[in-house]
Amino acid sequence: MRVVVTGAGGFIGHHLVNRLKAEGHWVRGVDLKRPEFSPSSADEFLISDLRLPENCLRAAEGMDDVYQLAADMGGIGYITTNHALLTRNNVLINAHMLEAARLSRARRYLYPSSACVYPSFHQKSEDVTPLKEADAIPADPEKGYGWEKLFSEQLTGYYREECGLDVRIVRFHNIYGPMGVYDGGREKAPAAICRKAALASNGDAIEVWGDGEQTRSFCYIDDCIEGMRRIMESGCAEPINLGSDNLVTVNRLVDAVFRASGKSLKRAHDLTKPQGVRGRNSDNTLLKKTTGWQPETSLEEGIEATYRWIASEIAKSAPRTILAEVN
């Protein structure tokens, strides 16, 4: 098939392009930038601002499948301080890409949503009940990013109901792994903790946002890509969770990073920094029913691979940093 992956310069999009190419598909990648850490394997790569409708039409032209992964996003620090800009950018991208897919007569369209669509009143306890897809309504999502994702889910559904577009809506739960952003302000918790540990010396204390008892489930990138491909082939047009259902505290995440580093490190909790909801976990009942599968990579396995990659990237950049300081 001919497939377009928007957001192909980003973390998940880059991995997805590699998977689709390995399956033998012709792939067009589209993004504002090329992948930062390794060249794209896409057959064609367009540098394009998808906030503009004409660029979306060019991206979708002649494509059988559309994976609309392009988004303005980041970790909790970024999404809690950029509500207006982030919401505007993403609404424009999603609306224009849906219309472009319709006009181009794309066969299928996958939209990646987020666990941020779920109401805060379901996520006030560390011992949270896993979130089912139906829990998103009545709505009280996270400000900005969560509202934008929920709105775009609804819009995607309208294109299915009224325009006949065959859609998939996937709710990601904390995807992490190698080749993801690990510094600069947009990184998420696993990458941020790995970076801090890689830069630390034995005996150091690294900063952890919050008291560490807030809970999450974390999904490794290989499982995310496998899940997306299975969901695309499933025929399920309703929103569906894609994440691990292994609920852990942030302190356990930090401990896994410490073990991967092989260093003796301590935590320094900062209660003034953004923390998000108190607890969040994925209910994978619909995922298992629909695909016969669920994420398989343990937190320890995933963090080991992620830490090794981030530590190697930091080691490669160290000589250049020192040289710049000398000059």
Residue 320 banded pLDDT, cuts 50, 70, 90: very low
Quick one: pLDDT at residue 184? 93
Residue 319 banded pLDDT, cuts 50, 70, 90: low
Average pLDDT over every residue of 138-146: 95
CA-to-CA distance for 16 and 6, rounded, in angstroms? 10
Residue 8 banded pLDDT, cuts 50, 70, 90: very high
Number of domains in the chain: 1
Average pLDDT over every residue of 55-81: 96
Active-site choice (109, 145, 182, 220)? 145
Q: Is the pLDDT of residue 143 over 90?
A: yes
Q: Say if residues 67 and 228 touch (Cβ distance below 8 Å).
A: yes
Q: What is the pLDDT of residues 231-260, one digit of tens each?
A: 999 999 999 999 999 999 999 999 999 999
Closest CA to 67 of 21, 136, 36, 33: 21
Q: Is the pLDDT of residue 327 over 70?
A: no
Quick one: pLDDT at residue 155? 98
Whole-number percent of the chain with pLDDT over 90: 96
The structure's pTM equals 0.94
Q: Note the residue count of the chain.
A: 327
User: Domain residues for 21?
Assistant: 2-176+218-242
Q: What is the pLDDT of residues 259-314, one digit of tens each?
A: 999 999 999 999 999 999 999 999 999 999 999 999 999 999 999 999 999 999 99
Q: Say if residues 19 and 4 touch (Cβ distance below 8 Å).
A: no
Q: What is the pLDDT of residues 293-304, one digit of tens each?
A: 999 999 999 999
Residue 322 banded pLDDT, cuts 50, 70, 90: very low
Residue type, 192: A
Residue type, 204: D
DSSP structure string for 224-257: HHHHHHHHHHH---SEEEES----EEHHHHHHHH
Q: What is the pLDDT of residues 70-85, one digit of tens each?
A: 999 999 999 999 999 9
Closest CA to 118 of 278, 251, 257: 278
Residue 184 to residues 39, 74, 124, 191, 192, Cα–Cα distance (Å):
21, 10, 29, 11, 10
Quick one: pLDDT at residue 317? 83
Q: Say if residues 16 and 228 touch (Cβ distance below 8 Å).
A: yes
Answer yes or no: is 187 within a domain.
no
Look up 307 and say whether it is catalytic: no
Residue 148 burial by Cβ neighbours in a 10 Å radius (0-12, 13-18, 19+): buried
Q: Is the pLDDT of residue 325 over 90?
A: no
In the predicted model, what is the mean pLDDT of the chain? 95
Cα atoms in the 13 Å half-sphere on the side-chain side of 54: 0
Q: Is the pLDDT of residue 324 over 60?
A: no
Average pLDDT over every residue of 142-170: 97
Answer yes or no: is 139 within a domain.
yes
Answer yes or no: is 39 within a domain.
yes
Answer yes or no: is 89 within a domain.
yes
Closest CA to 68 of 174, 191, 153: 153
Q: Is the pLDDT of residue 117 over 60?
A: yes
Closest CA to 111 of 131, 127, 132, 96: 96
DSSP-based three-state secondary structure for 170: strand
| Phi, psi for 209 (deg, rounded to 5) | -75, 125
CATH code of residue 34: 3.40.50.720
Average pLDDT over every residue of 116-140: 95
